[in-house]
Amino acid sequence: MYQTTIKKSVELVGIGLHKGSPVKLRLEPLESNSGIIFYRSDVDVSIPLLPENVVDTKMATVIGKDQFVISTIEHLLSAIYAYGIDNLRVIVDADEVPIMDGSSASYCMLLDEAEVIQLDMPKKVMRIKQDVEIKEGEKYVKLSASSDLQYDFTIKFPHPVIKEQEFILKFTKETYKREISRARTFGFLNEVQYLRSKGLALGGSLENAIVLDDKKILNPEGLRFEDEFVRHKILDAIGDMSLIGMSFIGNYEAYAGSHELNHKLTLKLLENPENYEIVELVGEKTKELEKAYA
């Protein structure tokens, strides 16, 4: 199995969640061993996708360099990761990635248009060898060894529509597209009002998020899945875990996980080489590991 990129450059324009202004996004192919590189064309700054470049995780995963940032990258990264893309240049002309409809479905369609192609170097994956966990109170995120890739996420909200939800995704590209990619981000009306008073979430609307008041969903079309909330949390986690720098094989488990906890998990994983091994997907012995990224 070989590293991948896209066959042709593709682009779209969408609204930025926080500024509410149009953002142009362009994806371009890169050669083997390049990784995922973000580039802000408005200020001529490149930001490689590395854990040390994460500068904020409060409302979204934000990377930065030289005082310049790119926010809300997790939905796009979730799709890139699900498609098994190893090398890609992501160009934006603003400080955030377009929110689109609040899910990663638009990015999946963009990648389908771009077409994923193989390059000339073997694909590398990280195989988790031992448990790595971040725990804060009752909240936790955890990686453990496995022969495949699975995401098990549980959320609990004191809201009559959400309550407690759990979803387990046995990861493949197809299960991701079918079960996860259409799940939208969500927020509460009082939080949205507060954020707007601070000059944030100016682009947020019922077109790109599920919004709830104290008792119900405000979106007239309702939910795409009965448990859309926890499915979106898996979508976010897949994007956040791409900060490892490559695809991985193992089990991810979370209870009330967040961007912040996911970032701490990647840092803890990478700080000890005994937690993992890097495997090149060549030869018969790696056939089992290839299944998730076929």
Is residue 75 among the annotated active site residues? no
Tell me which residue of 271, 279, 283, 274 sits closest to 248, measured CA to CA. 279
Q: What is the pTM of this model?
A: 0.94
108/118 same-domain check: yes
CA atoms of 273 and 281, how far apart (whole Å): 19
Nearest to 253, CA basis, from 192, 183, 169: 169
Same-domain pairing of 129 and 226: yes
Token readout for 183 is: 């799940």
Which pLDDT belongs to residue 19?
83
Annotated catalytic residue: which of 18, 75, 232, 259?
259
Picking from 96, 122, 148, the residue at the C-terminal end of a domain is 122
- Identify whether residues 128 and 204 lie together within a single domain: yes
Domain boundary among the residues 122, 151, 174 is at: 122
Domain boundary among 98, 122, 146: 122
Q: What is the pLDDT of residue 202?
A: 76
> What domain range includes position 242?
124-293
Question: Domain of 283: which CATH number?
Answer: 3.30.1700.10
DSSP character at residue 198: T
* Token pair recorded at residue 15: 């609204």
Q: How many structural domains comprise the chain?
A: 2
pLDDT at 7: 98
Please check whether residues 132 and 37 belong to one and the same domain.
Answer: no
- Say whether both 187 and 95 belong to one domain: no
> So what's the pLDDT on residue 293?
64
Is 245 in the same domain as 225?
Answer: yes
CATH number of the domain that residue 26 is part of: 3.30.230.20
Burial of 137 (0-12, 13-18, 19+ CB in 10 A): exposed
Residues 62 and 172 both lie in one domain:
no
Q: What is the mean pLDDT for each group of 10 consecutive residues in the chain (294 residues)?
A: 96 91 97 97 96 92 95 97 97 96 98 97 95 97 95 96 97 96 93 74 86 94 97 98 94 97 97 96 68 65
Instruction: Tell whether 114 and 16 lie within a shared domain.
Output: yes
Same domain, 258 and 114: no
The answer to whether residues 70 and 195 belong to one domain is no
